[in-house]
């Protein structure tokens, strides 16, 4: 099919609740005239696979043209053992999925349409000019404050030998049933005085079994001393998640519908009215020929309320009964339904919240805030956090407090990140099989060390070149910014030169200790400008423009902070908490071990490198920082060599 000239005007991928309501709204508003319609659904949609229950005012039901589909309605509600309450301006409606599907099929007969009973196996964007995708989504927890549980239930329509039901009153939540360590309740929809739908429902991570559910029904009916016969059965598992659904790759002409578009209320599982309002919003924007389709508006404070409740239900499921009992016991049902509909004011919500276990929700709010802080900090470079800390403590004359952190960082990740090359270069080999690898590793390091004794300036140049390449490669690979083979060297050179030139006086002293004199550089034109942060900040516009990434901006901010610190602290923070940290993260991605296992794998080589440096340091006649950097250059060269082989050759 040619995507530039689709055969169909509208395609509905899945003809469930969301797309059926959208089709209904499009038809009522005359937006399907002269259209060719395509429906793709793996099911024929001929059975009653679920029921849709919702509350609306009779006026709104009529305005949406749904009154003919409603099979039952109730004007009173019971929660727990309370007296029935009037729904006032609303009614609670029951609509079978079979009725909705039949209505959708009847609408289709007015147009040129094709119904394909199959799963989607093609690019959705090629199906039609407008594609509406209502396939069930998947959820992925992105950080600790998000929760995923399920509303699971079994429902039986049954007829009792005695008239025990009030056909004018439905039971929304009856927590008198056994909780068994979960949050579970009985949901009752009476159709007549001797016939009703009884639905034991559980909110939680563990799915309720059919045996458990039927046992709860039997226990619930036992006090009525009546026999019953089963007429029909249904079951369901509704996701309840504060995480957003995983975004599907779609074309610009594809509109997600239903749960995939966030139209499922996380804390209750209700979706019918949300889908109805969303369909109306979409149709209104189509009628107005809006440049982009408008959706049902989301109020962020209700997203927050749902998140807190789901956290409590997931962590303390035994407290769910108390929450819902108090919610309905201390508030009018009409107000509770408005709150669940997200149609209350902040003042009304505050009054409602005060009727709940306040310390339980306060604890959840504090925990949620802490988790968000941790999540935010986990996305921030450790070098930025430590750089800010170091600048602060330097201002109050306590920069020495930074030294223990640098030592810990060096032992935890600085040295270990360079002691794991055998894992990705010689995977699965035993220690006795690694002799050729160790021999090459040591030979490469000794070769660099020899250069320092015979040609220190050349060794320095070589050290700067491969360090710049390696630093840039470690950053761009973990940030997923590498586009060409030269970019790592350019970014690494910028970072390294920024760090060195803004500390040139100290660098020059260390270079003299390493046997390299750069006094001639001080006489170069514009040299004084090159040692100032503003110069490098101006140059930094280039990588920001090339990569267009917050990570690059963040790294430049780190370098600006480090420019105000002494050389050793600045280099230590940069080397350990940016370069080594990024290198460690990459190794963790390409090896099957966790962080603790990696650290233990690195420990023998970490201790060996410390021992080698100690021997080298005390053997040398001069003991200074220059010796440390010479040793690092020799130690890092084989690491750079092997890590380059570990990185992909193509981005």
- For the residues 542-566, what does the mean pLDDT come to? 94
- For the residues 286-296, what does the mean pLDDT come to? 81
**CA 472/CA 519 separation, integer angstroms:** 28
**Is 474 or 524 the better-scoring residue by pLDDT?**
474
Percent of the chain predicted with pLDDT > 90: 64
Percent of the chain predicted with pLDDT > 70: 97
What is the reported pLDDT for 167?
95
Query: Does pLDDT of 651 surpass 70?
Result: no
**CA 572/CA 565 separation, integer angstroms:** 11
Start-to-end Cα distance in the chain: 32
Residue 89: both structure tokens together: 């301006």
Query: How do residues 93-149 score in pLDDT, each as one tens digit?
Result: 999 999 999 999 999 999 999 999 999 887 888 899 999 999 998 888 877 788 999
Which range, of 115-119, 168-172, 439-443, 471-475, averages the lowest pLDDT?
439-443
- Please name which of 425, 403, 383 lies closest in space to residue 605, comparing C-alpha atoms: 425
Please count the other Cβ atoms lying within 10 Å of the Cβ belonging to residue 128: 23
Cβ 481 vs Cβ 466: under 8 Å: no
Write the CB contacts of 377 (distance below 8 Å, at least 6 apart in sequence): 385
Residue 394: both structure tokens together: 């330097």
Q: How many helices (H) and strands (E) does the chain have?
A: 25, 15
Q: What is the pTM of this model?
A: 0.72
Mean pLDDT of the chain: 90
Query: Does pLDDT of 3 surpass 60?
Result: no
What is the reported pLDDT for 6?
65
Query: Does pLDDT of 1 surpass 50?
Result: no
Query: Does pLDDT of 249 surpass 70?
Result: no
Per the document, the length of the chain is 651
**CA 119/CA 309 separation, integer angstroms:** 36
Task: State which H helix or E strand residue 159 sits in.
Answer: strand 148-160
**CA 559/CA 321 separation, integer angstroms:** 54
Query: How do residues 522-535 score in pLDDT, each as one tens digit?
Result: 666 777 778 888 99
- For the residues 449-456, what does the mean pLDDT come to? 86
Residue 645: both structure tokens together: 């082989």
**CA 393/CA 479 separation, integer angstroms:** 30
- Give bridge partners of residue 204 from the DSSP assignment: 150
**CA 4/CA 634 separation, integer angstroms:** 59
Query: Does pLDDT of 36 surpass 80?
Result: yes
- For the residues 512-529, what does the mean pLDDT come to? 76
DSSP secondary structure of 38-52: EEE-SS---S---EE
Rounded-to-10 torsion of CA 474, 480, 485, 489:
-40
**CA 174/CA 170 separation, integer angstroms:** 11
**Is 630 or 229 the better-scoring residue by pLDDT?**
229
Radius of gyration of the chain (CA): 34
Q: Max Cα separation, the chain?
A: 105
- For the residues 54-71, what does the mean pLDDT come to? 95
Query: Does pLDDT of 283 surpass 70?
Result: yes
Which range, of 123-127, 157-161, 216-220, 541-545, averages the lowest pLDDT?
123-127
Query: How do residues 168-217 score in pLDDT, each as one tens digit?
Result: 999 999 999 999 999 999 999 999 999 999 999 999 999 999 999 999 99
Residue 234: both structure tokens together: 């249904």
Query: Does pLDDT of 5 surpass 80?
Result: no
- For the residues 317-321, what does the mean pLDDT come to? 92
List strands edge to edge, sheet with 51-56.
51-56, 91-96, 72-74
- For the residues 399-416, what does the mean pLDDT come to? 92
**CA 45/CA 101 separation, integer angstroms:** 6
- Give bridge partners of residue 74 from the DSSP assignment: 92
Please count the other Cβ atoms lying within 10 Å of the Cβ belonging to residue 375: 14
**Helix, strand, coil tally for the chain in percent (to 5):** 55, 15, 30
Write the CB contacts of 370 (distance below 8 Å, at least 6 apart in sequence): none
Q: Tell me the H-state helices in 267-345.
A: 272-287, 300-315, 320-329, 333-340
Query: Does pLDDT of 38 surpass 90?
Result: yes
**CA 574/CA 384 separation, integer angstroms:** 9
- The tokens 């794991």 sit on which residue? 420
Query: Does pLDDT of 235 surpass 80?
Result: yes
- Give, as one character, the DSSP assignment of residue 84: P
- 475 burial (CB, 10 Å; 0-12 / 13-18 / 19+) is buried
Please count the other Cβ atoms lying within 10 Å of the Cβ belonging to residue 358: 10
Cβ 560 vs Cβ 533: under 8 Å: yes
Q: Tell me the H-state helices in 330-412.
A: 333-340, 346-353, 358-379, 382-395, 402-409
- Please name which of 431, 501, 432, 494 lies closest in space to residue 467, comparing C-alpha atoms: 494
Cβ 446 vs Cβ 458: under 8 Å: no
Strands 51-56 and 36-40: unpaired
Residue 51: both structure tokens together: 């029921």
Query: How do residues 553-564 score in pLDDT, each as one tens digit?
Result: 999 999 999 999
User: Nearest 5 degrees, angle CA 266-CA 271-CA 275?
Assistant: 125
What is the reported pLDDT for 622?
67
């Amino acid at each position: 099919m040619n995507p530039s000239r689709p055969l169909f005007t509208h395609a509905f991928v899945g003809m469930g609740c969301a797309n059926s309501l959208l089709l209904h709204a499009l038809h009522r508003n005359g937006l399907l005239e002269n259209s060719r319609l395509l429906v793709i659904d793996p099911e024929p949609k001929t059975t009653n696979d679920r029921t849709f229950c919702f509350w609306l005012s009779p006026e709104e039901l009529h305005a949406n043209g749904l009154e003919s589909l409603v099979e039952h309605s109730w004007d009173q509600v019971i929660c727990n053992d309370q007296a029935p309450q009037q729904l006032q301006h609303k009614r609670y409606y029951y609509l079978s999925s079979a009725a909705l599907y039949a209505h959708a099929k009847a609408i289709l007969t007015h147009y040129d349409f094709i119904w394909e009973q199959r799963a989607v196996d093609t690019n959705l964007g090629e199906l039609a000019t407008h594609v509406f995708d209502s396939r069930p989504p998947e959820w992925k927890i992105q950080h600790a404050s998000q929760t995923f549980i399920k509303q699971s239930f079994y429902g039986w329509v049954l007829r009792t030998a005695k008239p025990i039901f009030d056909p004018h009153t439905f039971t929304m939540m009856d927590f008198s049933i056994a909780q068994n360590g979960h949050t579970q309740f009985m949901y009752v929809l009476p159709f007549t005085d001797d016939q009703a739908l009884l639905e034991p429902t559980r909110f939680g991570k563990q799915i309720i079994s059919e045996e458990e559910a039927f046992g709860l029904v039997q226990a619930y009916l036992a006090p009525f001393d009546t026999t019953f016969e089963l007429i029909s059965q249904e079951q369901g598992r509704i996701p309840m998640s504060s995480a957003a659904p995983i975004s599907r790759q779609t074309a610009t002409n594809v509109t997600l519908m239903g749960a995939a578009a966030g139209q499922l209320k996380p804390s209750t599982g209700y979706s019918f009215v949300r889908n109805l309002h969303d369909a109306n919003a979409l149709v209104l924007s189509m009628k107005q020929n809006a440049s982009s389709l408008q959706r049902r508006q989301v109020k962020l404070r209700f997203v927050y309320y749902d998140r807190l409740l789901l956290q409590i239900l997931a962590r303390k499921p035994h407290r769910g009964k108390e929450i819902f009992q108090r919610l309905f016991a201390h508030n009018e049902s009409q107000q509770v339904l408005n709150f669940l509909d997200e149609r209350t004011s902040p003042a009304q919500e505050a009054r409602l919240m005060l009727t709940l276990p306040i310390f339980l929700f306060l604890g959840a709010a504090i925990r949620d805030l802490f988790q968000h802080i941790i999540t935010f900090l986990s996305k921030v470079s450790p070098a930025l956090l430590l750089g800010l800390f170091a600048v602060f403590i330097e201002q109050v004359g306590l920069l020495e407090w930074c030294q223990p952190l640098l030592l810990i960082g060096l032992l935890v990740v600085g040295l270990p990140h360079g002691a794991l090359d055998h894992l990705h270069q010689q995977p699965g080999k035993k220690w006795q099989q690694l002799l050729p690898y160790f021999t090459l590793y040591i030979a490469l390091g000794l070769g660099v060390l020899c250069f320092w004794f015979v040609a220190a300036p050349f060794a320095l140049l070589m050290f700067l070149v491969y360090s710049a390449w390696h630093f840039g490669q470690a950053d761009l690979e973990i940030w997923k910014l590498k586009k060409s083979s030269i970019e790592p060297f350019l970014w690494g050179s910028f970072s390294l030169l920024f760090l060195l030139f803004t500390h040139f006086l100290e660098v020059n002293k260390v270079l003299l200790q390493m046997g390299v004199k750069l006094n001639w550089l001080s006489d170069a034109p514009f040299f004084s400008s090159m040692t100032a942060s503003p110069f490098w900040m101006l140059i930094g516009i280039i990588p920001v423009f090339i990569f267009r990434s917050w990570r690059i901006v963040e790294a430049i901010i780190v370098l600006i902070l480090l420019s105000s610190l002494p050389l050793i602290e600045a280099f230590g923070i940069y080397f350990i908490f940016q370069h080594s940290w990024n290198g460690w993260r990459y190794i963790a991605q390409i090896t099957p071990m966790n962080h603790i296992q990696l650290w233990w794998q690195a420990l023998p080589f970490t201790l060996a490198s410390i021992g080698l440096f100690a021997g080298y340091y005390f053997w040398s006649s001069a003991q200074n920082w220059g010796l440390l950097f010479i040793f690092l250059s020799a130690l890092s060269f084989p690491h750079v060599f092997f890590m380059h082989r570990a990185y992909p050759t193509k981005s």
